[in-house]
Amino acid sequence: MNICVVGTGYVGLVTGAVFADLGNDVVCVDKLRAKIDSLKAGHMPIYEPGLEEMVARNVGDGRLTFTTDLPAGVRQSDVIFIAVGTPPRETGETDLSHVEAVAAEIGRTMDRYKVVVNKSTVPVGTGELVREVVARHQPAPIEFDVVSNPEFLREGSAIEDTLRPDRIVIGAPNQHAAMRLVELYAPLERPMIITDLPSAEVIKYASNAFLAAKISFINAIANICESAGADVTQVMKGMGLDNRIGSAFLQAGLGYGGSCFPKDVDSLIHTAGRLGYDFKLLKSVVEINRERAGRLVEMIRKVLGPMDDKTVAVLGLAFKPNTDDMREAKSVEVIQQLHGAGATVRAYDPVAADNAHPLLPEGVIYSASPYEAAQDADAVVLVTEWNEFKFLNLERLRSVLRRRAIFDGRNIWEPDRMRRLGFEYYSIGRKPVIPS
């Protein structure tokens, strides 16, 4: 099948590469010439395990190409995926200007029947908006269909999630359009659900909002555990073994970040308000998440005292492991607050330091390893749970610290082990370890 993917961010680039790997002819379009030139040269704009190799393989085989020429991409394709950015406005409303611009160009260029697929995360009603924009810009009426096919990929495992999704959601106005997408996804042999278009749009937001709610719920429980002397990890296990609840997204920590959960939750709150419903539950989810970084910093200040003469090593900058994405990263909040309190901050991340630099205060010192960051520091603060940190040589870490204080924002280490090693160990929703 001939496919055009508009947008070469996480969603667009991964979608294009995977469809090409399945044997389709795919052209990926982006308006940024420098980005397209970089992709043609084999340089990826994002860090995603396995993506560079997949792109190179399919470019070499002639199934995947890159261009800034959207009209050419539209004309040569049967199915057009819109995968451009949908950033939030200050009000929480989703900015659909990029989607509308692409839809208008599709309308101007369309020369035969096409299926236009909204792959970007968009509020309910956007499918009808895209249909109206495409039709309005057609020089002469040509039949087309608009389909919603929301993505559920996670950064850091985007290729795996695209090749082996839990489900494929297709929101279509008729069987003919739905079967085009069914045919495209058939090689994956994964469960498919075919719905009307508005329902597919709601499924995406409802899924992300529910997962965000699970994260905020267990973090609220962690607050109770800290006050009651309970262990949130044991609480999580007891809850997660209930099949009605499950253990996924039930890990206490610094809360959610990234490009999806924060803006999707805000967008659903805004959409609900526009439709006349005050979504108080989700507003509480947002408020709990907003408090997480400040709560950790307050714990650090209580333990270390005045921060003016303190050096703190921060491990992990990206919003989650296996990505260099700094959007809504908790490290930014933590470091800004530590820096504002007067601490000297040394930071280390395996891949995200370059992206973090413009977002962090001047004076932050970037280190080449966790041990360099911890050299003569008064504390280590774990923010992102990279595997590299789970397998640190803790004896070596202990030997370079001035004060053996560890603040674990993701609960990756066991308190008993930290006690045996002689650390002061403070984590989320668990009793602190304070050596005698």
Domain boundaries, the chain: 2-195, 199-436
Q: In this predicted model, what pLDDT tens digit does every residue of 385-432 receive, in sequence order?
A: 999 999 999 999 999 999 999 999 999 999 999 999 999 999 999 999
User: Quick one: average pLDDT of 58-78?
Assistant: 96
Q: In this predicted model, what pLDDT tens digit does every residue of 260-314 receive, in sequence order?
A: 899 999 999 999 999 999 999 999 999 999 999 999 999 999 999 999 999 999 9
Amino acid at position 140, single letter: A
The whole-number pLDDT of residue 193 equals 97
The whole-number pLDDT of residue 303 equals 97
pLDDT at 41 over 80: yes
pLDDT at 436 over 80: no
Q: Which of 4, 28, 225, 260 is catalytic?
A: 260
pLDDT at 353 over 90: yes
Mind spelling out the 3-state secondary structure of the chain?
CEEEEECCCHHHHHHHHHHHHCCCEEEEECCCHHHHHHHHCCCCCCCCCCHHHHHHHHHHCCCEEEECCHHHHHHCCCEEEECCCCCECCCCCECCHHHHHHHHHHHHHCCCCEEEEECCCCCCCHHHHHHHHHHHHCCCCCCEEEEECCCCCCCCCHHHHHHCCCCEEEECCCHHHHHHHHHHHHHHCCCEEEECHHHHHHHHHHHHHHHHHHHHHHHHHHHHHHHHCCCHHHHHHHHHCCCCCCCCCCCCCCCCCCCCHHHHHHHHHHHHHHCCCCCHHHHHHHHHHHHHHHHHHHHHHHHHCCCCCCEEEEECCCCCCCCCCCCCCHHHHHHHHHHHCCCEEEEECCCCHHHHHHHCCCCCEECCCHHHHHCCCCEEEECCCCHHHHCCCHHHHHHHCCCCEEEECCCCCCHHHHHHCCCEEECCCCCCECCC
The whole-number pLDDT of residue 17 equals 96
Residue 242 or 10, more confident:
242
The whole-number pLDDT of residue 259 equals 82
C-beta separation of 82 from 118 below 8 A: yes
260 tagged catalytic: yes
Backbone angles phi, psi at 399, to 5 degrees: -70, -25
Q: Do domains 2-195 and 199-436 have the same CATH topology?
A: yes
Domain at 199-436, CATH class? alpha beta
User: Quick one: average pLDDT of 328-337?
Assistant: 97
User: Quick one: average pLDDT of 176-182?
Assistant: 97
Share of the chain above pLDDT 90, in %: 94
C-beta separation of 9 from 3 below 8 A: no
> Among candidates 320, 312, 381, which has minimal Cα distance to 350?
320
- The CATH architecture one would assign to domain 2-195 is 3-Layer(aba) Sandwich (3.40)
336: Cα separation from own chain's centroid: 21
Q: In this predicted model, what pLDDT tens digit does every residue of 111-132 receive, in sequence order?
A: 999 999 999 999 999 999 999 9
